[in-house]
Structures are given as structure tokens and as C-alpha cells.
């Protein structure tokens, strides 16, 4: 038998790196692999049928001798030469893996789907011959004659096929097809680098296919009839993807199951899709058992920061959809918005869903990422769905405008994406107002505090607030200024205003510290205007700007305490335990770790009028709390 893998000859090697798209899909991990293959199956549904698409995902192992054409690929890999460290490391990894006797694999087999047409025609320019497009063309996707059906499909960029190659240690995959006439064929691709083999140079992509000589120095690819090992068999109409040498990090049944739920829970709930993962079946009746299982997902809403599927699931099933109109520069688009307001939700996201039931992204709404809401956005018609499809990035994981080359279309897309945030922000604001009337006491987690705090800042411009310490109680005195305006230089007025940003209570005696055996300290309430607080990941950064205060000019060190406040500005001094909420505290001006003692951060250095600290957050830290800061010098 002749060679089973075909590489096109080239005059010389021009590119010595692996396809960059391989690394991109490798970084998407299991979710990218599952998403691409199930989306292709949904796109291949037999028109007119009411039966759901069924996808069977299997993981297992196979003897290397049962992988067709493997010896040829091994010989090619031995000839590869890297020109940089990454390429060299990749080739070395492939060489280490290619001799494994028992090889892990994953397969995706679909049912109630069309399969590929025209395999008997081999390499063809006819767009109806979908076998040729899938098997031999990169960067091309098949197009349906039915315009409505084409617009509703998930794929459009034509590069998703390479996702399967990225999951293999040898960058190889096979596909078995059974068409409507029962013809069974096997194809495949491998992604190497341009290389020299037996004194000839070849392109990077190899095709598992037969080749026939047509004469006059012309050849044509034809697929192999499928008579291979049962792992590669496909006996019913549809397509089956087989990926041998499955990477270890992709061989995770729990992550595969979660990826199905994350991307396709709507398709499953609407009975458009059923997925069987080894012995686990996910359909409209059973999917709840997995989404509501602590083995797979965090169930406490307050702890959900990344995997939002359990909240989306409840929002979609429990909330009535509202109509939402979103516009671009030219026209309006109609959507259904399933919206939930829940104060226990700490991270707000919108699941953007295509009509096939596939989630595109967990969209962040500008200036509302920490608001207590959850939402699911679904197009109402094919018009909206087609527009969303045009905005998907190549991995179908985000709405984007950067990939659009036409500047007018890019501007229009940017406007639409921004308007998604604008329109949903209005819904969020209305829900907050409705659920948080301003005539009552507010919960400490309620973000309406931001509005109250701004009002208090504005009010403080007309009032002078003084806190004094009497025994164990702080007494607040508010005095409305009655002195007549003085004719003074504007610059002096501005300086005086900044001086009032710190409010000075009575002097108290502090406990001994490492900086002094015993010292008397003055406790100040830091006005929010001098405090900058930012949370990035698991770290919180706080900066205190004392540069406008004479009280701090001679101070080199200070101690800092934190007090929780509610939406009305009421303080709860004993509610927040710093040791329970902070893993560590670092002085950013010195890089040294600081002690937390008696619920005080001790010995913070004041440098050029500023004190800066970094707080490493513990898991139980509540990001929704609002604080006031006290500074002792």
C-alpha cells in the first residue's frame, strides 16, 4: 500500500514555526475543544427534523498499532528541525510521545446530522461537496443554500477544525463520515512545520487521504473507505471526530461535562441537543442534576466569581423574559432578556446566547461588574442572530469588532456592543432603585451606597464634621458654617479646603509598638476623597494622600484601622476582623510585610505625603463591603 499521509511539495522552507492558531486553541483548553465540535454537530442537523442532535463523547485508550498511518507521521516528526526554543521544545515533546504503546484518545460522534456530502467526488471545487471543503481546505467553512439556515449556524471563520489538532500531542486528528447513502470514509489532518523529508521540502499540513495520478503532472485526493479499527468507525449518518495522543490536560471527564453545560445548557434545555459523555447523559431532564451538583459547580451564589452557569440556569428557568431593544448606528435589534436581581450575587454577568443555544460569552456590563444581578440575552429572530454571528471572534467566545476590517462596519459594531452595556445598565439601575427604596436602612452589601457616598461628599462642602472620642463612644458633631465669606486669594481657599479632608478627634494613648515603647497618638477619620482603593484579582491596593494636611507633615509612620459602613453611612466598628479577611499586608513604599495587631495595620510608612498598602485577600473576603478608614499618628 502507498503512503496514507499526503504533504504538498514546495521548493524550499520559508516558515519554520507551528501554526499560531494551534497555540490559541490549546490555550482554550477543554472548553474550546468541546465548543467547536458540538457547535459543528448542531450546524449539521438534518433540516426539518424535530429530533435533537445527539453527540456522544468518549474517552479511552488504543494501541498505537491500530492508529492508521502513524509510522509515516513518526518518520516526518523525526525530520523536523526547530529554529527557536518554542519550536524545538514542541518537536522534542512530540518525539517523546510518539512511541507510547498505549495511546489516549477522545472522540465526538454525532447523530441526527447530515454528515459530509460528496466524498466519492474526492477533491472538488463544488461547494455542495462538503467533504472536500472539510477535508482539504483550511480557513473555509461550508455554506448552506438556505440563507436563513446559514445565518443561524454557529461557525463562520473556518478555522475551528484546527481545535481538534491542538488537543493532540502530535497535532493529529481523524474524521469518520457516513453520508445519507451509507458511504463510509475516513480522513484526517496533521499540523507539523515545513520540513525536509527524503531530500524534498514539504508544507506543514498533511492529509490522511489517497491520491490518484490524473496524468500531465496532475493529481487528485480521494478519501479512504473506512475499514479501520472500531474506534475510527462511523456506521450511522453523521460525523465522528477522533483525536489520538490526547493531551493529559484535555483528558478530564469532569471538565468535559462542565464545558458542555457552560456552552450549551440552553440548547439542552430547549431539547435541541443531547450529549452523552461516556456513561453520563445530559438532556433536558438530567442536566439539572449536574449543574446543581457541588462536585461540578459552586452552589453558594455569594461565592460564584467565575463559573456562572448555575445562576444562568436559574435565571433562564425562573424569570419571565422582557423585551430589550439594542441599536447600532443604523437600525434596532430585538432581544429577550431574562433578568434576575439578587443582593447575594457579588459578580454580575450577562450570558449572551445564539439561537442554536450556544453561549458566546459571559459579558461584563461597563461600570456594573460588581452589581447584584444575572441575565441571559437571546436574539428574538434570525436578523439579530445573524448580526451576533458577524460579531463573534474566531473562537466564538466573545463579541468583538477588532476582527472587522471595514472601518464603517467596525464603527457600527463597536456602537452596538457598547449599546448592549448601555441598555442593560438601564435595567440594572431600575432594578436597584426598585429593590432599594431610599427611606430605609440599607444592607452593607448594597451598592446604592456609592450614590449615598457621593451625596455626602457634596454635602460636606457646605458642612464641617468633627468626631470626638469620649470614653468608648465616638460623638459626631455637625456644624453648619455661619461665618461671613472672606475676601481671600482663591489659592488659599483651595488649600484650606484640602486641609479639612482629615477630621481630627481627641488624642488617645496607643499601646506600645515596635516603633516606640509608648507614644500618644491622634486618631483621624480619613475623608473618602483622600483614599484611593482598587481591587485587582486577589489583591486590594489602598493609597492615602496626606500631602495637603499639616497634621501629617512631621509624621513618618501611621497605623490604619478599617470600619464597615452601611448604605446610610452608619458605622459598625467591631464587624470587620482584618486577620480573618487579609492573608497579608505589604507596605508598598518599603516592600515589607506589616503586622495586624488589635485590628490595626501597624507601622505604615508615610513617604512624600502618601501611605500605600497592598492587602492580599482571603477566600471568604466580601468584596461588596464598604469602609471608612481611621488613621493614627
Q: Can you give the residue ranges of every domain in the chain?
A: 5-251, 301-435, 449-484+499-632
Nearest to 138, CA basis, from 121, 124, 155, 159: 159
Long-range contacts of 430-437 (CB under 8 A, 24+ apart): 431/339, 431/341, 431/373, 432/341, 432/371, 434/341, 435/341, 435/343, 436/567
Integer Cα distance of 549 and 609 in angstroms:
9
Q: Please, are residues 107 and 241 in contact by the beta-carbon 8 Å criterion?
A: yes
Q: Which of 192, 177, 182 is nearest to 75 (CA)?
A: 192
State the Cα–Cα distance between residues 117 and 125, nearest whole angstrom.
13
Alpha carbons 201 and 80: distance in angstroms, whole number: 11
Which SS3 state, helix, strand or coil, does residue 171 take?
coil
Distance (Å, whole) CA 314 – CA 288: 10
- Among residues 31, 106, 49, 55, the alpha carbon closest in space to that of 281 is found at 55
Q: Which residue in 531, 560, 526, 535 sits closest to 543, CA to CA?
A: 531
Q: What is the pLDDT of residue 300?
A: 93
CATH number belonging to domain 301-435: 3.30.230
Q: DSSP strand E in 134-183: where?
A: 172-178
User: Which cell numbers hold the place of 108?
Assistant: 465526538
Alpha carbon distance 111, 114 (integer Å): 8
Question: Which pLDDT belongs to residue 567?
Answer: 65
In terms of phi and psi (left: phi > 0; alpha: psi -120 to 50; beta: otherwise), the region of 245 is left
pLDDT tens digits, one per residue of 411-449: 999 999 999 999 999 999 999 988 876 544 444 444 444
Which residues 6+ apart lie within 8 Å of 610 measured at CB? 543, 544, 545, 546, 547, 589
Residue written as cell 500531465? 216
User: Strand 172-178 vs strand 582-587: parallel, antiparallel, or unpaired?
Assistant: unpaired
CB-side exposure of 268: number of CA atoms within 13 Å? 26
pLDDT at 215: 83
Question: Would you say 236 and 53 are in contact if contact means Cβ atoms under 8 Å apart?
Answer: no
At 483 the pLDDT is 41
- In the structure grid, which three cell numbers stand for residue 8, read together? 504538498
Residues of the chain short of pLDDT 50, as ranges, are 140-158, 439-452, 454-456, 459, 461-518
494-537 pLDDT, tens digit each = 444 333 344 444 444 444 444 434 456 788 888 877 888 888 87
**Joined grid coordinates for residue 480:** 453648619
The CA–CA distances, whole Å, from 155 to 46, 129, 163, 259, 590 equal: 16, 18, 13, 18, 53
d(CA 359, CA 313): 12
CB 436 within 8 A of CB 567: yes
What CA–CA distance (Å, rounded) separates 37 from 129?
A: 20
- The CA distances from residue 192 to 22, 84, 271, in Å, are 10, 15, 40
Helix (H) or strand (E) holding 429: helix 407-435
- What is the pTM assigned to this prediction? 0.68
Amino acid at each position: 500500500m502507498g503512503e496514507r499521509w499526503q504533504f504538498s511539495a514546495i521548493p524550499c522552507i520559508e516558515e519554520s514555526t507551528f501554526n499560531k492558531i494551534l497555540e490559541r486553541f490549546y490555550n482554550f483548553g477543554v472548553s474550546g475543544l468541546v465548543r467547536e465540535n458540538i457547535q459543528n454537530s448542531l450546524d449539521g442537523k438534518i433540516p426539518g427534523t424535530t429530533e435533537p442532535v445527539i453527540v456522544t463523547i468518549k474517552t479511552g485508550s488504543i494501541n498505537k498499532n491500530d492508529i492508521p498511518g502513524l509510522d509515516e507521521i513518526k518518520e516526518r516528526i523525526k525530520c523536523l528541525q526547530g529554529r527557536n526554543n518554542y519550536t524545538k521544545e514542541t518537536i522534542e515533546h512530540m518525539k517523546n510521545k510518539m512511541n507510547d504503546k498505549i495511546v489516549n484518545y477522545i472522540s465526538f460522534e454525532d447523530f441526527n446530522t447530515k454528515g459530509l456530502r460528496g466524498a466519492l467526488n474526492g477533491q472538488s471545487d463544488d461547494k455542495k461537496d462538503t467533504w472536500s471543503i472539510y477535508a482539504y481546505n483550511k480557513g473555509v467553512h461550508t455554506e448552506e443554500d438556505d440563507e436563513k439556515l446559514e445565518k443561524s449556524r454557529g461557525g463562520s471563520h473556518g478555522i475551528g477544525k484546527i481545535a481538534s489538532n491542538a488537543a493532540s500531542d502530535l497535532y493529529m486528528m481523524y474524521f469518520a463520515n457516513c453520508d445519507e447513502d451509507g458511504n463510509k470514509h475516513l480522513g484526517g489532518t496533521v499540523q507539523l512545520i515545513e520540513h525536509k523529508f527524503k531530500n524534498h521540502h514539504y508544507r506543514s499540513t498533511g492529509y490522511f487521504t489517497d491520491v490518484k495520478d490524473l496524468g500531465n503532472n496532475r493529481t487528485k485526493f480521494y478519501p479512504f473507505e473506512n475499514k479501520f479499527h472500531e474506534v475510527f468507525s462511523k456506521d450511522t449518518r453523521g460525523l465522528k471526530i477522533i483525536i489520538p495522543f490526547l493531551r493529559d490536560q484535555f483528558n478530564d471527564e469532569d471538565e468535559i461535562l462542565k464545558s458542555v453545560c457552560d456552552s450549551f445548557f440552553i440548547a439542552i434545555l430547549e431539547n435541541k441537543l443531547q450529549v452523552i459523555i461516556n456513561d453520563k447523559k445530559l438532556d433536558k431532564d438530567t442536566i439539572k442534576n449536574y449543574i446543581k451538583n457541588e462536585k461540578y459547580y459552586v452552589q453558594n451564589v455569594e461565592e460564584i466569581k467565575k463559573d456562572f452557569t448555575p445562576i444562568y440556569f436559574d435565571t433562564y428557568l425562573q424569570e419571565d423574559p422582557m423585551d430589550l431593544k439594542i441599536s447600532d448606528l443604523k437600525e434596532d435589534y430585538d432581544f429577550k432578556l431574562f433578568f434576575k436581581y439578587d443582593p447575594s450575587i457579588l459578580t454580575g454577568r450577562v450570558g449572551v446566547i445564539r439561537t442554536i443555544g450556544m453561549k458566546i460569552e459571559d459579558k461584563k456590563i461597563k461600570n456594573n461588574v460588581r452589581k447584584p444581578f444575572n441575565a441571559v440575552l437571546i436574539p428574538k429572530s434570525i436578523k439579530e442572530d445573524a448580526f451576533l454571528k458577524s460579531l463573534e471572534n474566531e473562537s466564538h467566545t466573545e463579541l468583538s469588532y477588532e476582527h472587522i476590517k471595514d472601518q464603517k462596519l467596525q464603527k457600527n459594531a463597536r456602537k452596538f456592543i457598547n449599546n448592549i452595556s448601555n441598555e442593560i445598565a438601564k435595567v440594572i439601575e431600575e432594578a436597584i432603585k426598585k429593590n432599594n427604596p431610599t427611606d430605609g436602612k440599607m444592607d452593607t452589601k448594597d451598592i446604592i451606597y456609592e450614590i449615598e457616598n457621593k451625596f455626602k461628599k457634596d454635602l460636606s462642602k457646605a458642612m464641617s464634621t468633627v468626631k470626638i472620642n469620649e470614653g468608648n463612644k465616638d460623638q459626631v458633631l455637625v456644624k453648619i458654617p455661619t461665618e461671613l465669606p472672606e475676601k481671600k486669594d482663591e489659592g488659599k481657599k483651595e488649600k484650606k479646603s484640602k486641609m479639612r479632608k482629615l477630621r481630627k478627634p481627641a488624642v488617645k494613648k496607643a499601646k506600645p509598638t515596635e516603633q516606640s515603647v509608648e507614644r500618644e497618638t491622634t486618631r483621624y477619620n480619613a475623608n473618602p476623597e483622600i483614599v484611593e482603593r482598587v481591587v485587582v484579582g486577589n489583591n486590594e491596593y489602598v493609597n492615602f494622600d496626606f500631602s495637603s494636611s499639616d497634621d501629617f507633615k512631621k509624621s513618618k509612620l501611621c497605623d490604619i484601622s478599617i470600619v464597615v459602613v452601611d448604605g446610610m453611612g452608619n458605622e459598625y466598628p467591631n464587624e470587620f476582623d482584618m486577620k480573618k479577611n487579609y492573608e497579608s499586608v505589604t507596605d508598598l513604599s518599603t516592600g515589607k510585610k506589616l503586622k495586624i495587631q488589635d485590628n490595626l495595620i501597624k507601622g505604615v510608612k508615610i513617604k512624600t505625603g502618601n501611605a500605600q498598602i497592598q492587602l492580599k485577600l482571603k477566600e471568604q473576603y466580601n468584596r461588596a463591603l464598604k469602609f471608612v478608614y481611621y488613621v493614627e499618628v
